[in-house]
Amino acid sequence: MTQVQYPKLPNLKTGSRVYKGKSYYYIQTYTSHYDYEKKYSVRDSQKTVGVIKGGEKYGEIEFKEEFIAEYPNLKYFKTFKTKEGLIHKLIDEDIFTVTNPLKVTKVIGGATWAINHAMAQLGIGDALRNTFGQYRRDLKFASIINYMIQMQTCVMHHYEPFAKIHWLPWVKPDVPQLKTPNIKI
Least confident range from 89-93, 111-115, 134-138, 177-181: namely: 177-181
How many domains does the chain fold into?
2
pLDDT recorded at residue 80: 92
What's the pLDDT tens digit per position in 141-163?
A: 888 888 899 888 888 888 888 88
| Residue 139 belongs to domain spanning | 103-185
Nearest CA to 132 out of 170, 173, 166 is that of: 170
Q: Which of 99, 130, 151 is the last residue of a domain?
A: 99
Residues 11 and 80 in one domain: yes
